[in-house]
Amino acid sequence: MLLKRGTDLKYSDITPRDVYVNRRKFLYGLGLAGGLALAGKSLANLVFPSGRAYAAASLPGLVKSSFSTTEKITPEQVVTTYNNFYEFGTDKGDPSKNAGKFVTSPWSVSVEGEVAKPRKFTMEEILKLAPLEERIYRHRCVEAWSIVVPWVGYSFSTIAKLVEPTSNAKYVAFESYFDKKQMPLWGRAGIQLPYVEGLRLDEAMHPLALLTVGIYGETLPNQDGAPVRMVIPWKYGFKSIKSLVKIRFVKDQPPTTWNITNANEYGFYSNVNPKVDHPRWSQAKEVRLPGFFKNTPTQMFNGYGDQVASLYNGMDLKKNY
Amino acid sequence: MNRILMNKWTKVVVFALCLVPIAVLVWQGPSGWGANPTQYLEHATGDWILRFLAITLTVTPLSKIFGLKQVVRFRRILGLFAFFYACLHFSIYIGLDQVLDFRGVWADVVKRPYITVGFTGFVLMIPLAITSTAAMVRRLGFRRWQMLHRLIYVSAVAGVIHFYWLVKSDVHLPLIYAAIMAALLGWRVFAWFSDRGRKPARGTPARKEPTTVPAS
């Protein structure tokens, strides 16, 4: 159904705000009265606190993408209130509470390293480098939960081609914004900051790798990695770095935050793989949020195997987890 | 103070207070449990197991240090509530998280150290719950009963390790629990040593067993 709507329609246009606010009140009452019995299927429609940490700007004229899944999109409230963004606290509810005052404008991303034309892109430039697409991707967290998100952006290769990587460029290193003043809970994160991530060059240049500037037809909320982030749908969520400030094309495999934290548990590749368990839990199944039961089978490469499996031909994926 | 503690209604009040955490969870309902309700309930009940274990372990030091002998009346109920929240926690894990996949549960227990240790802590609480009645104290004899119930120390340590091994990187909360348990168990070690120091030399008869069953 969503595929048929006009491209300039915002999610909030479909249901007027006062209607859905009232519906929430009604459902909230129901939720209290019904308790557990009412849970299950209707959970998706139940109340969550408002997830927007700031006034989002709508991103009109989005192009549909053939990469999109037709699976049911996760309610926006879930995606904006259940976050892993350790700079703003380690509880899932922390980022939406604490990232509200995070200043994301002005913003620029420096693209440098083994490239012919290093340069800084302002956020305004990034928004105009290519037509913005809506890509509905499955997003699988290493913690065995998953969501389906309508991201907005374009392939990372677009920006990469503009800086012309040299033949020395074998990997891409990404770095998040980090500011102790704006992220007072950073000390609790237990991970080295700024957050860094990395991809092999061919992974980064794969059309599925998305430079992301929005969700649900609007600019990214702070807790979801505003104003610009990466989304790598066939890898565990932590590979999809948030609030990007630096992109560096490099010769050698770059260090990555969770690999630094615990190399036995988080490899450089971290492709979604139901056959390779996390040392502390199985990766065979996932819980699709919002929901109670961890009974959705996890797919190899998160279901993107047809597109990306060839990147790993001949590689031992148990060893290169 | 002891008179208030001895009042028959005090036990009712303590019982009601022990039910507050579960009441709050039920009152919140699914809408209050967030996007990942199973994980929320697992964490909430898990927190309360550790809290009740810590509170239960506080009873004896409290009675000895402050001479509040009557608080011992509440020890059984507090321990049983730790077990109650452990049962809830385990049921949520089996029923919701693993969706009654018992092979998956067993694989977890055998393969995942944090689950192995948590499961051990839970299983060790079962005999304590079963032998918590006055009749069982009589049947076992107080000394043997007391020895058995020292298993709670193992459960408390196992619970903290379970929590510590579970978190991805932010260990400050598990460390707080670890510090609390260390203090509570450390006090017992200290009390044991100082008690031994005060005892007469070996060869004298051991203290007589209490002839009456202590009030729970």
pLDDT in tens, B62-77: 999 998 888 999 999 9
SS3 content of chain B, % helix, strand, coil (to 5): 80, 0, 20
* Percentage of chain B lying above the pLDDT 90 cut: 82
Q: Is B30 on the interface with A (CB under 8 A)?
A: yes
In angstroms, rounded to a whole number, what is the distance separating the alpha carbons of residues B179 and B173? 10
> Strand A244-250 and strand A108-113: pairing?
parallel
With an 8 Å Cβ cutoff, is A86 touching chain B? yes
Contact B107 A282 (CB under 8 A): yes
Assigned token pair, A43: 């959970």
* Substitution target from B26, B27, B31 for chain A, most A beta carbons within 10 A: B31
Task: Please name each of the domains of chain A with its CATH number.
Answer: 1-47 (no CATH), 53-312 (3.90.420.10)
Residue of A nearest to B114 (CA): A280
Average pLDDT over residues A71-76: 98
pTM for the full predicted model = 0.84
Residue A22 reports pLDDT greater than 70 = no
Chain A residues with beta carbon closer than 8 angstroms to that of B31: 27-28, 31-32, 46-48
The tally of domains found in chain B comes to 1
**pLDDT computed for residue B5 by the predictor:** 77
Q: How far is CA A113 from the centre of its chain?
A: 25
Least confident of A44-48, A248-252, B185-189: A44-48
- Is the confidence at residue A163, as pLDDT, over 80? yes
- Note whether A39 contacts B30, CB cutoff 8 Å: yes
Nearby residues of A163 by Cβ (< 8 Å), 6 or more positions away: A111, A112, A115, A116, A117, A118, A119, A249
Q: Residue B44 pLDDT > 50, yes or no? A: yes
Which chain B residues contact residue A143 at CB under 8 A?
168
β partners of residue A58: A218
Reduced 3-state DSSP string for A49-92: CCCCCCCCCECCCCEECCCCCCCCCCCHHHHHHCCCCHHHCCCC
**CB-nearest partner of B96 from A31, A279, A293:** A293
- Structural domain for B176, as ranges: 2-196
- Give domain status of residue B202, yes or no: no
Q: Is residue B208 included in any domain, yes or no? A: no
Judge whether B34 is closer than 8 Å to chain A, CB to CB.
yes
Considering the domain boundaries, does residue B209 fall inside one?
no
Residue B155 banded pLDDT, cuts 50, 70, 90: very high
The rounded mean pLDDT for chain A is: 89
Establish if B95 touches chain A: CB-CB under 8 angstroms.
no
In a 13 Å sphere around the CA of A261, the CA atoms on its Cβ side amount to: 20
> Does pLDDT of A63 surpass 80?
yes
> Are B43 and B85 in contact, with CB atoms under 8 Å apart?
no
What was the pLDDT predicted at B4? Answer: 77
pLDDT at B199: 64
Give yes or no for a contact between A304 and A270, defined as CB atoms under 8 angstroms apart: no
Considering only residues 182 to 201 of chain A, which have any Cβ-Cβ distance to chain B shorter than 8 Å? 188-191
**Model confidence pLDDT, tens digit, residues A213-261:** 999 999 999 999 999 999 999 999 999 999 999 999 999 999 999 999 9
- The whole-angstrom distance between A76's CA and the closest CA on chain B is 11
Least confidently predicted of A34-38, A239-243, B41-45, B75-79: A34-38
Please tell me the distance from the alpha carbon of residue B40 to that of residue B47, in angstroms, as a whole number. Answer: 11
In a domain, B211, yes or no: no
| Distance from chain centroid for Cα A31 | 30
Question: Cβ(A79)–Cβ(A218) under 8 Å?
Answer: no
C-alpha radius of gyration, chain B, whole number: 19
Chain B CB contacts of A32 below 8 Å: 27, 29, 31
pLDDT tens column, B76-105: 999 999 999 999 999 999 999 999 999 999
**pLDDT computed for residue A56 by the predictor:** 82
Q: Is residue B29 less than 8 Å (CB to CB) from chain A?
A: yes
Q: Determine, yes or no, domain membership for B206.
A: no
Is-contact B169 A195, C-beta < 8 A?
A: no
pLDDT of B216 higher than 70: no
What ipTM did this prediction achieve? 0.84
Contact (CB<8Å) B29/A92:
no
